[in-house]
């Protein structure tokens, strides 16, 4: 069996790995780097693609396969949300004036080529999907081929969040021959979830007391629904003082409707609620001009690189009463959010903006941290482990800890292994 790592190797973004046996060849994920757009270096001589979850760093390049009819295997929720995110990808390219030779018809083709089943037989290979936590619909991939068991985690977490259960290790194969595991937080342990949520609320209250605007950039899919519901409930329960509170993102609004209609894909904690994402105190706005200040605003894009979050970041960054709260863990080095966090002055269209607002990072991430990653390996007991989806530093720190538990490899982009 040959494994080739086409992306997400010593980096986060563009995840794609091919598995080739004597009977055929499949890809595990087919992602892009969001800041770089579609790519043409991924193989097309495939029997199928298995997509772990809808995030574009795992699914975005499916557009380039639209005309091939190659089957995509993944959960129903991943199929449905991937379609929304691919449509948005096309829209964002057009808005930026970047050429993109695909339309909504190609997204339909991707949708119709999807096999939304949790167990699929291919020639000489069996594919099983297992819940991964992380985001709605995310799955790990268990492959059986040539007498070997391979487990690919995709992005995952073990801890439960407010709306989704973590991965269930008991449902996974024990002692797989090969584990391919994400390592986003390979070198980092985070405080537990409750502590982070408390820190978030404390920071919001502190900003409210100063009477400033509060900007929370986030991703339209899952992190937005989780964050807005969290804030809505806190406002309703009086854990946060009353304040103008909004979310802005047409894409998030569309995905939120899907979340309300499909609570069966979420954790038990929201399944009894007929519409857990109909918010009482956080209003949806179409345009930034509708914001009544001072306000708390949750909006896209998650890295502040586009959309409302980019606009409001530059509008609000130079006023010391305001607050920017970064809620994701990983941020690309060249994104407005990392500039705001790390620099004293940031620039937009040649204009300089001094960073006077409070900029705080509270990592309410859907990824396993270092302690969860080590626990996962201890319990699953793989013979050989490939660490992917982590910067080299993070993957290497984790590799050192795992060395006594499993044989570890940290592949480079393009590297091939026979296993
Ligand atoms: Zn993800
Ligand atoms: Zn990812």
**265 CA from centroid of ligand 2 (Å):** 19
C-alpha torsion angle, residues 397, 398, 403, 409 (rounded to 10): -100
Do residues 44 and 91 both lie within one domain? yes
Q: How far from 6 is each of 85, 129, 394, CA to CA, in Å? A: 22, 22, 19
Do residues 317 and 408 both lie within one domain? no
Q: Are 222 and 56 in contact (CB under 8 A)?
A: no
Q: Say how far apart CA 336 and CA 303 lie, in whole Å.
A: 7
Report the interhelical angle of 104-112 vs 76-95 (nearest 10°): 160
CATH of the domain at 234: 3.40.50.10890
C-alpha torsion angle, residues 175, 385, 142, 48 (rounded to 10): -150
pLDDT tens across 194-245, in order? 999 999 999 999 999 999 999 999 999 999 999 999 999 999 999 999 999 9
Do residues 72 and 86 both lie within one domain? yes
From the CA of 365, the nearest ligand is 1
**Boundary residue ending a domain (343, 361, 379):** 361
Do residues 55 and 128 both lie within one domain? yes
From the CA of 29, the nearest ligand is 2
**271 CA from centroid of ligand 2 (Å):** 26
Do residues 175 and 287 both lie within one domain? no
Residue-number span of the structural domain to which 408 is assigned: 2-188+366-418
Do residues 57 and 169 both lie within one domain? yes
**163 CA from centroid of ligand 2 (Å):** 19
**389 CA from centroid of ligand 2 (Å):** 7
**55 CA from centroid of ligand 1 (Å):** 5
Q: Say how far apart CA 251 and CA 231 lie, in whole Å.
A: 19
Q: How confident is the model at residue 95 (pLDDT cuts 50, 70, 90)?
A: confident
* pLDDT of residue 397 exceeding 90: yes
pTM for the model stands at 0.95
Q: Say how far apart CA 68 and CA 46 lie, in whole Å.
A: 10
For residue 296, which phi and psi values (nearest 5 degrees)?
A: -105, 125
pLDDT tens across 373-382, in order? 999 999 999 9
Do residues 254 and 372 both lie within one domain? no
**36 CA from centroid of ligand 2 (Å):** 15
Do residues 213 and 147 both lie within one domain? no
Pinpoint the alpha helices (H) of 101-155. 104-112
Please state, for a pLDDT cut of 90, what percent of the chain lies above it. Answer: 92
pLDDT tens across 144-193, in order? 999 999 999 999 999 999 999 999 999 999 999 999 999 999 999 999 99
Do residues 22 and 166 both lie within one domain? yes
**Boundary residue ending a domain (315, 339, 361):** 361
Q: Are 193 and 364 in contact (CB under 8 A)?
A: yes
From the CA of 58, the nearest ligand is 2
Do residues 352 and 407 both lie within one domain? no
**233 CA from centroid of ligand 2 (Å):** 28
**182 CA from centroid of ligand 2 (Å):** 8
Name the nearest CA neighbour of 253 among 212, 298, 210, 216.
298
Q: Say how far apart CA 267 and CA 363 lie, in whole Å.
A: 21
Other beta carbons less than 10 A from residue 68's beta carbon: 13
**53 CA from centroid of ligand 1 (Å):** 7
Do residues 404 and 258 both lie within one domain? no
CATH of the domain at 132: 3.60.15.10
**350 CA from centroid of ligand 2 (Å):** 32
**211 CA from centroid of ligand 2 (Å):** 36
- The first and second tokens of residue 382, run together, are 């793989």
**69 CA from centroid of ligand 1 (Å):** 25
Compute the C-alpha angle 134/334/81, nearest 5°: 30
**154 CA from centroid of ligand 1 (Å):** 8
Name the nearest CA neighbour of 159 among 326, 390, 376.
376
pLDDT value for 176: 98
**399 CA from centroid of ligand 2 (Å):** 19
From the CA of 136, the nearest ligand is 1
Do residues 170 and 209 both lie within one domain? no
In the DSSP assignment, the letter for residue 8 is S
Q: Say how far apart CA 170 and CA 176 lie, in whole Å.
A: 13
- The first and second tokens of residue 367, run together, are 């990824």
Which residues make Cβ contacts (< 8 Å) with residue 277, sequence separation at least 6?
225, 228, 229, 256, 259, 260
**56 CA from centroid of ligand 1 (Å):** 8
What value does the mean pLDDT of the chain take? 96
Bond before 123 cis per omega within 30 degrees: no
**361 CA from centroid of ligand 2 (Å):** 19
**295 CA from centroid of ligand 2 (Å):** 31
What is the tally of structural domains in the chain?
A: 2
pLDDT tens across 319-369, in order? 999 999 999 877 888 889 999 999 999 999 999 999 999 999 999 999 999
**95 CA from centroid of ligand 1 (Å):** 24
**327 CA from centroid of ligand 2 (Å):** 16
Helix, strand or coil for residue 234?
helix
Write the secondary structure of 282-339 as one string of H (helix), E (strand) and C (coil): CEEECCHHHCCCCEEEEECCCCCCCHHHHHHHHHHCCCCCCEEEECCCCCCCCCHHHH
**388 CA from centroid of ligand 2 (Å):** 10
**32 CA from centroid of ligand 1 (Å):** 12
pLDDT tens across 38-66, in order? 999 999 999 999 999 999 999 999 999 99
């Amino acid at each position: 069996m040959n494994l080739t790592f086409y992306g997400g190797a010593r980096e986060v973004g563009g995840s794609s790995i091919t598995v080739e046996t004597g009977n055929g060849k499949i890809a595990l994920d087919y992602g892009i780097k969001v800041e770089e757009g579609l790519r043409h270096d991924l193989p097309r001589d495939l029997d199928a693609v298995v997509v772990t979850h809808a995030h574009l760093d795992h699914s975005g390049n499916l557009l380039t396969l639209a005309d091939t009819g190659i089957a995509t295997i993944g959960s129903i929720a991943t199929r449905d949300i991937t379609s929304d995110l691919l449509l948005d990808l096309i829209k964002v390219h057009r808005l930026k004036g970047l050429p993109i030779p695909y339309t909504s018809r190609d997204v339909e083709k991707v949708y119709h080529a999807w096999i939304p089943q949790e167990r699929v037989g291919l020639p000489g290979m069996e594919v099983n999907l297992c819940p991964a936590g992380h985001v709605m619909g995310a799955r790990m991939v268990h492959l059986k081929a040539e007498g070997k068991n391979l487990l690919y985690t995709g992005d995952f977490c073990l801890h439960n969040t407010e709306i989704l259960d973590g991965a269930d290790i008991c449902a996974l194969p024990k002692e797989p021959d090969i584990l391919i595991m994400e390592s986003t937080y390979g070198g980092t342990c985070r405080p537990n979830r409750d502590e982070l949520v408390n820190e978030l609320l404390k920071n919001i209250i502190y900003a409210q007391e100063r009477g400033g605007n509060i900007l929370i950039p986030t991703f339209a899919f899952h992190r937005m629904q989780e964050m807005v519901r969290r804030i809505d409930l806190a406002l309703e329960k009086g854990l946060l003082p009353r304040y103008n509170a909004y979310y802005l993102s047409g894409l998030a609004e569309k995905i939120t409707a899907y979340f309300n209609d499909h609570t069966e894909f979420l954790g038990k904690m929201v399944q009894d609620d007929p519409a857990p994402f109909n918010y009482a105190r956080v209003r949806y706005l179409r345009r930034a001009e509708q914001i009544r200040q001072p306000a708390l605003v949750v909006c896209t894009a998650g890295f502040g690189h586009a959309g409302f979050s980019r606009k409001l970041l530059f509008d609000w960054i130079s006023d010391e009463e305001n607050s920017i709260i970064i809620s994701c863990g990983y941020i690309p080095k060249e994104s407005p959010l990392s500039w705001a966090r790390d620099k004293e002055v940031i620039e937009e269209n040649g204009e300089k903006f001094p960073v006077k607002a409070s900029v705080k990072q509270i990592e309410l991430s859907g990824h396993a941290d270092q302690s969860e990653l080590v626990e996962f390996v201890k319990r699953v007991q793989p013979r050989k482990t490939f660490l992917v989806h982590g910067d080299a530093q993070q993957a290497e720190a984790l590799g050192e800890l795992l060395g006594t538990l499993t044989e570890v490899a940290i592949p480079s982009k393009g590297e091939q292994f026979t296993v």
